[in-house]
């Protein structure tokens, strides 16, 4: 996988309900508690206007980068570029990965979400650096995507990536807690992603 993702264990997805100042404070503390390279903060706020989002992302980059953490912006490639983020994370229905790569360049990360092992493999073939697969377990934030896939889907996805000799980072998302973080890695995930649990337990980066 890309060298910057080799140590990745935890993707902490931001909660847009948190005030910006509190989010920056919590992000700094979480980054300081995680080993360098183990944390990636994913800024996700579909309702935020561009100017406010750029300001927030710049503040978060300044808070987490000194501790060796990465930061990507959900969907908004323009904001990621303007704010100096490490890359972008695209929803499955987002702009094509090839177009995102052409705009972002070779040095920025391009991640994406998928909802099946076959979809994860397709995204890896299309050049994604990171693929979030889920929901693995039930969670309110992923209820719209149907029934949980279960950890066997992670194993299937990892097998497809390995067979294709892909270096994409496979990330489990959906219903992650401390016990499930370990189960996800045993099933083949390189890392786990969460909203509530990630911010409550930096130890997820070590499990």
**Nearest Cα to Cα of residue 53 among 34, 71, 28:** 71
- Backbone φ and ψ of 181, nearest 5°: -60, -45
143 has pLDDT over 70? no
pLDDT digits (tens, 9 = 90+) for 84-131: 999 999 999 999 999 999 999 999 999 999 999 999 999 999 999 999
Q: What is the pLDDT of residue 147?
A: 87
Report the C-alpha gap between 27 and 1 in whole angstroms: 25
User: What digits encode the pLDDT tens for the residues 168-207?
Assistant: 999 999 999 999 999 999 999 999 999 988 888 777 776 6
Mean local confidence (pLDDT), 27-37: 96
| pLDDT above 70 for 138 | yes
Cβ atoms of 100 and 110 closer than 8 Å: yes
Of 162, 143, 159, the C-alpha closest to 151 is: 159
- What values do phi and psi take at 170, rounded to 5? -95, 120
Residue 37 has pLDDT above 80, yes or no: yes
146-171 pLDDT, tens digit per residue, is: 789 999 999 999 999 999 999 999 99
- Range list of H helices, the chain: 20-33, 50-64, 77-83, 97-104, 117-125, 151-163, 178-187, 196-200
Rounded-to-integer distance, Cα 154 and Cα 98, Å: 24
CA distance 60 to 129: 21
Which one is the CATH code of 3-205: 3.10.100.10, 3.10.20.80, 3.20.20.70, 1.10.3470.10? 3.20.20.70
The model carries a pTM of 0.95
Instruction: Give 2-18 pLDDT, tens digit per residue.
Output: 889 999 999 999 999 99
Question: What pLDDT sits at residue 141?
Answer: 64
Sole residue written with tokens 């309702």: 47
């Amino acid at each position: 996988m890309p060298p910057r993702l080799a140590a990745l264990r935890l993707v902490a997805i931001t909660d847009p309900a948190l005030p910006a100042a509190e989010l920056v404070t919590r992000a700094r503390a979480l980054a300081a508690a995680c080993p360098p390279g183990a944390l990636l903060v994913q800024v996700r706020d579909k309702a935020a206007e561009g100017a406010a989002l750029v300001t927030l992302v710049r503040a978060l980059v300044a808070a987490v980068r000194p501790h060796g953490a990465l930061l990507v912006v959900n969907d908004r490639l323009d904001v990621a570029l303007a704010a100096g983020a490490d890359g972008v994370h695209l929803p499955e229905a987002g702009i094509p990965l090839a177009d995102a790569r052409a705009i972002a360049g070779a040095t920025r990360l391009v991640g994406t979400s998928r909802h099946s092992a076959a979809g994860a493999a397709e995204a890896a073939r299309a050049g994604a650096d990171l693929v979030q697969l889920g929901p693995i377990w039930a969670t309110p934030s992923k209820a719209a995507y149907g029934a949980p896939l279960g950890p066997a889907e992670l194993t299937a996805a990892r097998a497809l990536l390995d067979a294709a000799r892909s270096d994409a980072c496979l990330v489990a998302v959906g219903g992650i807690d401390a016990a499930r973080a370990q189960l996800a890695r045993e099933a083949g995930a390189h890392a786990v992603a969460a909203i509530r649990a990630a911010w409550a337990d930096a130890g997820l980066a070590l499990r």
